[in-house]
Chain A
Amino acid sequence: MLGKLNMDEFAMGSSNETSYYGPVINPWKAEGSNLERVPGGSSGGSAAAVAAHLCAGATATDTGGSIRQPAAFTGTVGIKPTYGRCSRWGVVAFASSLDQAGPLARDVRDAAILLKSMASVDDKDTTSVDLPVPDYEAAIGQSVKGMKIGIPKEYRVEGMPEDIEKLWQQGIAWLKDSGAEIVDISLPHTKYALPAYYIVAPAEASSNLARYDGVKYGLRVPGKDIADMYEKTRAEGFGHEVQRRIMIGTYVLSAGYYDAYYLKAQKVRTLIKRDFENVFAQGIDTILTPATPSAAFGIADQELANDPVKMYLNDIFTVTVNMAGLPGISVPAGLDANGLPLGLQLIGKPFDEETLFRTASVIERAAGRFTPEKWW
């Protein structure tokens, strides 16, 4: 182990700006600009370190896009495996029904090698599955000929930059040229994934983070009685974003609101998963989408800082995958007009990470590799 890397506080963030230690700076800069950009989040430290060649690979976690969005922002490869594929022992729990660990690496082969070591059953995580771990590396270089690639129309969102649409079309062309069959599909509940996520994830977080009360570990701020000690400790110890999510979670779980918010979101989650099951039942092998709705943005972007929902929209293409428990990989596919990296995402069937590695390596071979120019 070389060291520990920075990340958003309690993995809650899409830009690394919620970190107690300050933001990570993306090694990528736009052409002719000195603006420091975010590496994405929450595993932004892992992605930046890999992109900057500080290490060959890094571990990360993904609850709503925290591996794949930083991978896209830094020109690295990141895979969120199927829920249950990797043990989460040692990871601080955020939203237990969504959290999954995975690797970030500079190319698809390295990601495959890392995942083979990370995937396992573990007595210390009851959600880890007892399934054989395939040789993921062997999938690289295999043909995608005859494979059915689904293109979901709902991932074409309003206001999406032209560069992203162009990249997506380019990815479709590469896979078609490699002999895959491109199929237009529909995942009708896509747009409800993000609002449902912002009920389910904060609800689980408010419960998981109850343990940070000043009694058991970490910070303890003295108070006049036990309740006062709890309240002062948690007000001082948690940052704004974490407090905001605990508050949302507490509200949606509170008496009178549980059915309207939490239960409703859990039902919508069933529908989101069913959308994917339907297209896989039609014979689709993997789904190709953009990884993010934009390239890396500037640190301390005022528009994003003032509107939490706008920041949350970063995860619009990745969050569906967590809601359905599926595997998803982000692979660098090109640069935008400003020279910043962009990624494509492939979504697979449960425990079919091999197909993701196989298809991602075809995209990688066509797109080439992307390395930031050293300025640090």
Chain B
Amino acid sequence: MSVDTATVKRVAKLARIAVDDEAADRMTGELNAILGFVEMLGEVDVAGVEPMTSVMPMEMKKRHDNVTDGDKADDIVANAPETERNFFLVPKVVE
């Protein structure tokens, strides 16, 4: 499979990276080189093989829902450019 410039622009949109025509052209070539390389996996017969989800068998640890960092909200927000009542203030993300 290979990608064209329009696909690269669509993927860049999904990845939230601004690309101009020049960057899209460059990336098309690079992405096709990488996709051409990974094409090799087509040779492998994976019938009946389980996909790996965890490389080492381990039980998922869950932490207790406690305040463990010293209850020092003022210190935590001290370096933030803008705060209000111990909250970080960020640009509006919900339109």
Q: Tell me how many residue pairs across A and B have CB atoms closer than 8 Å.
A: 147
Contact A248 B34 (CB under 8 A): yes
Give complex CA distance A210, B14 in Å: 11
Tell yes or no: A244 within 8 A of B by CB: yes
A225 contacts the other chain (Cβ, under 8 Å)? yes
Q: A83-B56, A198-B38, A270-B52 are in contact. Are A235 and B31 (CB under 8 A)?
A: no
If A216-B90, A235-B18, A268-B41 touch, does A251 touch B61 (CB 8 Å cutoff)? no
- Inter-chain contact B40/A234, CB cutoff 8 Å: no
Contacts of A226 in B (CB 8 A): 91-93, 95
A97 interface hit (Cβ, 8 Å): yes
CA distance A307 to B46 in the complex (A): 29
Write the A119-131 contact mask toward B (1 if CB under 8 angstroms, else 0): 0000100110100
Residues of B within 8 A of A82 (CB): 56
Question: Which residues of A have CB within 8 Å of B46?
Answer: 264, 267-268, 271
Q: Which of A198, A213, A235, A270 is the one whose CB lies under 8 Å from B51?
A: A270
A250 in contact with B11 given A195-B38, A198-B38 (CB within 8 Å) = yes
Please tell me the size bucket of the interface on B.
Answer: 35 or more
Q: Give bound CA distance, A83 to B63, whole Å.
A: 20
Residue of B nearest to A245 (CB): B34
A83 contacts B40, C-beta separation under 8 Å: no
Does B19 sit at the interface, judged by CB under 8 A? yes
Shortest distance from the beta carbon of B5 to any chain A beta carbon, whole Å: 13
A254 at the interface (CB under 8 A from B): yes
B67 interface residue per 8 A CB criterion: no
Is A213's CB under 8 angstroms from B16's CB? yes
Bound together, the chains give a CA A295 to CA B12 distance in angstroms of: 36
Asked if B17 and A235 make an inter-chain contact with CB atoms under 8 angstroms apart, the answer reads: yes
Contact indicator B11/A254 (Cβ below 8 Å)? yes
Tell whether, in the assembled complex, residue B56 and residue A84 are in contact, meaning their CB atoms are under 8 Å apart: yes
> Would you list which residues of chain A between 293 and 307 have a CB under 8 Å from chain B?
307
Contact yes or no, B60 A126, CB < 8 A: yes
Cα of A107 to Cα of B14 in the assembled complex, Å: 46
Q: Nearest-CB distance from A89 to chain B (Å)?
A: 13
Sampled A-B contacts (18; CB under 8 Å) = A83-B56, A192-B44, A199-B38, A216-B90, A226-B92, A231-B17, A235-B17, A251-B3, A251-B7, A254-B14, A260-B1, A266-B52, A267-B49, A270-B52, A308-B30, A309-B33, A309-B34, A325-B55
Known: A251-B7, A265-B38. 18 other contacts (CB 8 A): A97-B55, A123-B61, A126-B61, A191-B40, A196-B38, A198-B37, A199-B38, A206-B15, A215-B93, A226-B92, A228-B18, A234-B18, A247-B12, A248-B31, A251-B3, A264-B44, A308-B33, A308-B34
A interface list, Cβ under 8 A from B: 82-84, 97-98, 123, 126-127, 129, 189, 191-192, 194-196, 198-199, 206, 210, 213-216, 220, 225-232, 234-235, 238, 243-244, 246-251, 254, 257, 260-261, 263-271, 273, 307-309, 312, 323-325, 350
Chain B residues with CB under 8 Å of chain A are 1, 3, 7-8, 11-19, 23, 27, 30-31, 33-41, 43-44, 46, 49-56, 58, 60-63, 88, 90-93, 95
